[in-house]
Amino acid sequence: MTIAAQTNPGLTAAEVAERVRAGQVNNLPPRSGRTTWDIVRANVFTRINFLLMALFILVLSTGSIVNALFGFLIIFNAGIGIVQELRAKRTLDSLAVVGEGKPMVRRDGVAGELAREAVVLGDLIEIGPGDQVIVDGEVIEASYLEVDESLLTGESDPMLKEPGATVMSGSFVVAGVGAFRATRVGAESFAAQLTAEASKFSLVKSELQTGINQILRLITWLLIPVGLATVWVQWTRNQGTWQDRVLAIGGALVPMVPEGLVLLTSLAFAVGVVRLGQRNVLVQELPAIEGLARVDVVCADKTGTLTENGLRFGELEVLDGDEARIRVALAQLAAADPRPNASVQALAHELPLEGPGWEVTGMAPFTSAKKWSGISFGDHGNWVLGAPDVLGTPGGTAAERAEEVGSTGRRVLLLGEADASVDAADAPGVVVPRALVVLEQKVRPEARGTLAYFAEQDVAVKVISGDNATSVGAVTGSLGLDTGEVVDARTLSDDPVEFARTVESAGVFGRVTPHQKRQMVAALQSNGHTVAMTGDGVNDVLAIKDSDLGVAMGSGAAATRAVAQLVLLDDSFATLPHVVAEGRRVIGNIERVANFFLTKTMYSIILALLVAVWGLPFPFVPIHISFVGWFTIGIPASILALAPNAERARPGFLRRVMMFSLPSGVVVAVATFVAYLLVIAPAGTDAARATQASTATLLTLMVAGAWVMIVAARPYEWWKLVMIAVCGLMAFLTIFWLPYQVPGWVAAWPFLARFDPQLDPSNVALMTTGLWTGIIAAVLVEAIWWFSGRFTGQRRTLWKPPEERD
């Protein structure tokens, strides 16, 4: 047991039990942000479901079961939404348990890791570099403890914490070690609002969701007057029975409801979460999936991203002094460091301490800002270890030799002896170089392929590291990455414009401070880029927080994982291509689905409005609309929503969707109405002829709607052509084969009379008129597709290029 543990042993088991009974525990919101009941309620009790239910009951009252089949959409929509969101919730919860940081809590004098929910009021929590403060507290022990509170206060400089000082949850340790007593836990602590916020399953604050909400608001405002006009006209002008009037009202109103748009949007997001979860990627904020699709610059830290976290001792090159004394000094430095980083751990493994440890009279923990650490050992001297170009004399022998060794891609540290205590205000003072410590770092085997993927996808990679620029350039060069200029960040201009220009043009940066990483992200964003920042260390926290998409390594610092939108739990850089591809698939397919449903809603509203203005009976009953929905929208949209899609998403989602869907909806509606006018007069007024006119009009709508599907499915692949062919065959059989089979079925099973589709394609003249009108509409839709692509700058191709095919 350490002296600190003897002095401050923490709570006893009895005290912990007492606080648990009193409810003084660190209860936090659910990791996924929504309970099971929240998910069920959100998917069942929706405005769309209420509207469909009302129409379902109304149509069912007529006794026509076949026309009420659309009611199963309520069960289908809610069921699929609930199942997929519950799957996503389970994925998020299980991954969050693995990925979240666990505090080191001291109880009965023994420190051990606990789940964050197990912390109680008064617990003593030990902290060190990279640890996040998970609850509010008062510092009890501190050894050169520095805490970064910039995420809370905006203060960029780390704060030195002495015993008695307060620490706030959400801050993180950048240097030193210490312990604090929890004074506020659970909902009372700032952690309940900050750290839990990172794990919410949400669909907010994204261009995509904002665009869909605007579409739904537009549809809602159009539905009210058109719906009222339709009900009035069909009830007062329709000469049929009350059942005929109700079916006409249902046939007009049902297709106006964009029931699939919200379902398939949430479905695509939820499936994206599950797919990424299967690759050990924790999605901490759902809108991050949208960010994945838009990323065009990836800022990658070298250590832990391109190279593995662990380091191996390579060699010791003595510059001045006795090698035996230098080796002992290195062993003492490694043994005295309370929270050694990867470099010090490599030294400790190679040079284990033999004999008693030297008395520590001063300590300066390593920070990314100053790039050195040191310990004063009284009469044994003041020893410092860090970057040769920081501790050494510029242009000196040690610096030049370190540059030469670093050009091979190895990490080089300078061991020096200072003339003043390392914790003095002017430390390190004058440093006498004693030796160069060469450490080996292993390049991740998957790094080359990952960088090649980004190059193929027009995603720029910026390697940003705190290491020597020459060493970083050597590593990236060995991976075949053509990043252009290699820049030492200490030479970057203070002028924001010049700084942004250099960051834009160069690809490798060394000796970058945490503050500069943050500036680089901001500079790239100011140039219009969507930036992903990857990292694993505490020095990456601020840049990850400010980036459009923060990606943390699972083995990285707890603070880094807490602020990132994505956590790669297996630390595999090779996962990133799959992550980006998944984001593109989700967003690209949701845009495609939006084109389907907005077009359908627009032509339904406009057709209903035209019929109401002319005072005509509505040409369709609900089952007709269901046929159109199944074969031109529902089935293909469900397939395309989950299909591969590698095209990078671009801003302007709402504009692109509107440019295609609104004019296409107008064309389909007008063509269908014109066909109705052309066939309704020759058909006459008897029920049989009216059914023939309705069937011919349905053919127009089916052909025009099918062409919307055909152009929205582009660029083509073999499976898309199969999908189009199957949907076309099913539509053909429904119109031209099914009506001739129903009489025989009803004769054999009379109860099937309730399922009569009310179709009659026997009038060749009317069907020909309907077909040609539909073909004309298809030609206009084709023209709109090409024109909208040129107007919005969207690439238009019929076939997917061979290199992009699955």
Predicted confidence (pLDDT) per residue in 38-72, tens digit: 778 877 777 767 777 777 777 777 766 666 666 66
Q: If you ran DSSP here, which 8-state letter would residue 714 be given? A: P
Q: How far is CA 272 from CA 236, 269, 282, 580, 589, in A?
A: 49, 5, 11, 11, 11
Q: Which pLDDT score is estimated for 747?
A: 66
Q: Which pLDDT score is estimated for 54?
A: 76
* pLDDT classification of 200: cutoffs 50, 70, 90: very low
Q: Tell me what the mean pLDDT of segment 275-302 comes to.
A: 79
Say how far apart CA 412 and CA 403 lie, in whole Å: 8
Predicted confidence (pLDDT) per residue in 447-479, tens digit: 888 888 888 878 888 888 877 787 788 888 777
Say how far apart CA 487 and CA 501 lie, in whole Å: 12
Q: Which pLDDT score is estimated for 751?
A: 60
Q: Please say if the pLDDT value at position 289 is more than 80.
A: no
Residue with token string 């794990």:
199
Q: Please say if the pLDDT value at position 78 is more than 80.
A: no
Q: Per the structure block, which two tokens stand in for 440?
A: 């080996």
Say how far apart CA 393 and CA 624 lie, in whole Å: 84
Q: Please say if the pLDDT value at position 779 is more than 80.
A: yes
Say how far apart CA 412 and CA 387 lie, in whole Å: 7
DSSP-derived pairing of the beta strands 531-535 and 549-553: parallel
- Residue 123: how many CA atoms within 13 Å on its side-chain side? 36
Say how far apart CA 133 and CA 168 lie, in whole Å: 7
Q: Tell me what the mean pLDDT of segment 623-636 comes to.
A: 81
Q: Per the structure block, which two tokens stand in for 525?
A: 């964003």
Say how far apart CA 217 and CA 363 lie, in whole Å: 62
R_g of the chain, CA atoms, integer Å = 34
Say how far apart CA 382 and CA 424 lie, in whole Å: 11
Q: Which pLDDT score is estimated for 201?
A: 41
Given the residues 131, 136, 244, 301, the one annotated as active site: 301
Q: Are 592 and 218 in contact (CB under 8 A)?
A: no
What dihedral do alpha carbons 336, 341, 346, 349 form, nearest 10°? 40
Least confident of 189-198, 294-303, 470-479: 189-198
| DSSP state letters, 627-665 | HHHIIIIIHHHHHHTTS---SPP-S-HHHHHHHHHHHHH
Predicted confidence (pLDDT) per residue in 88-125, tens digit: 677 666 666 555 668 899 998 888 888 888 899 999 99
Say how far apart CA 238 and CA 218 lie, in whole Å: 29
Predicted confidence (pLDDT) per residue in 320-332, tens digit: 888 899 999 999 9
For the chain, the residue count is: 806
Helical (H) or strand (E) element with 174: strand 172-184
Q: Per the structure block, which two tokens stand in for 318?
A: 């003595």
Q: What is the mean pLDDT of the chain?
A: 80
Residue with token string 């590698």:
646
Predicted confidence (pLDDT) per residue in 394-422, tens digit: 778 888 888 888 887 788 899 999 988 98
229 burial (CB, 10 Å; 0-12 / 13-18 / 19+) is middle
Is 93 among the residues known to form the active site? no
The pTM of the whole model exceeds 0.85: no
Say how far apart CA 352 and CA 338 lie, in whole Å: 15
Q: Which pLDDT score is estimated for 30?
A: 56
The contacts of residue 372 (CB under 8 Å, 6+ apart) are 364, 366, 384, 385, 386, 387, 390, 391, 428
Q: Which pLDDT score is estimated for 197?
A: 46
Q: Per the structure block, which two tokens stand in for 536?
A: 């694993």
Q: If you ran DSSP here, which 8-state letter would residue 752 be given? A: G
Q: Strand runs (DSSP E) across 446-598, as ranges? A: 460-464, 486-488, 508-510, 531-535, 549-553, 566-568
Closest residue by Cα to residue 141 from 2, 332, 340: 2
* pLDDT classification of 390: cutoffs 50, 70, 90: confident
| DSSP state letters, 771-806 | HHHHHHHHHHHHHHHHHHHHHHT----SB--GGG--
Q: Are 506 and 483 in contact (CB under 8 A)?
A: yes
DSSP-derived pairing of the beta strands 460-464 and 508-510: parallel
| DSSP state letters, 242-276 | HHHHHHHHHHHHGGGS-HHHHHHHHHHHHHHHHHH
Q: Strand runs (DSSP E) across 450-583, as ranges? A: 460-464, 486-488, 508-510, 531-535, 549-553, 566-568
Higher pLDDT: 512 or 646? It is: 512
Say how far apart CA 256 and CA 599 lie, in whole Å: 10
What dihedral do alpha carbons 45, 49, 54, 60 form, nearest 10°? -120
Say how far apart CA 439 and CA 720 lie, in whole Å: 53
The contacts of residue 497 (CB under 8 Å, 6+ apart) are none
Buried b (16+ CB within 10 A) or exposed e, 13-44: eebbeebeeeebbbebebbbbbeeeebbebbb
Q: Strand runs (DSSP E) across 329-470, as ranges? A: 362-364, 372-376, 382-386, 411-418, 431-443, 460-464
Alpha helices in 196-312 (DSSP H): 207-237, 242-253, 259-278, 288-294
The contacts of residue 505 (CB under 8 Å, 6+ apart) are 484, 485
Q: Which pLDDT score is estimated for 682?
A: 65
Q: Tell me what the mean pLDDT of segment 197-215 comes to.
A: 57
Say how far apart CA 228 and CA 243 lie, in whole Å: 18
Q: Tell me what the mean pLDDT of segment 373-379 comes to.
A: 91
Say how far apart CA 130 and CA 561 lie, in whole Å: 10
Q: What are the φ/ψ torsions at residue 415 (nearest 5 degrees)?
A: -95, 125
Q: Are 592 and 661 in contact (CB under 8 A)?
A: no
Q: Per the structure block, which two tokens stand in for 340?
A: 């050694």
